[in-house]
Amino acid sequence: MCVAQFIEVGRVSSMQVNHKAVEKALKGQDVCIKIDPVPGEAPKMYGRHFEHTDLLVSKVCSEFCMWVCSFSF
């Protein structure tokens, strides 16, 4: 059995579509993202620590999850 390795690459500080800043992106849309490193850690580098084929997921806290769920029910 394999367990996926999760590494924290940093926080998204900005996104662009066609060289223009955007606040959100749609599923399937090509975007450029700037990721600031985690404070106190060495920056994770594209090609060394992760690739374009890797799945990037958002890390959210339990308080945010509870806040979102409060609107669903």
Q: How many domains are there within the chain?
A: 1
- Please give the distance of CA 30 from its chain centroid, rounded to a whole number: 14
Share of the chain above pLDDT 70, in %: 92
* 39 belongs to a structural domain: yes
* 2 belongs to a structural domain: no
* 62 belongs to a structural domain: yes
What is the distance between the alpha carbons of residues 2 and 11, in angstroms, rounded to a whole number? 27
Mean pLDDT of 24-53: 89
* 61 belongs to a structural domain: yes
pLDDT value at residue 4: 54
58-71 pLDDT tens trace: 877 788 778 878 87
Residue in 63, 39, 38, 65 with CA at minimum distance from that of residue 49: 38
Range of the domain at 46: 11-72
Rounded to two decimals, the pTM is: 0.65
pLDDT value at residue 72: 64
Dihedral in degrees, nearest 10, Cα atoms 57, 52, 42, 6: 40
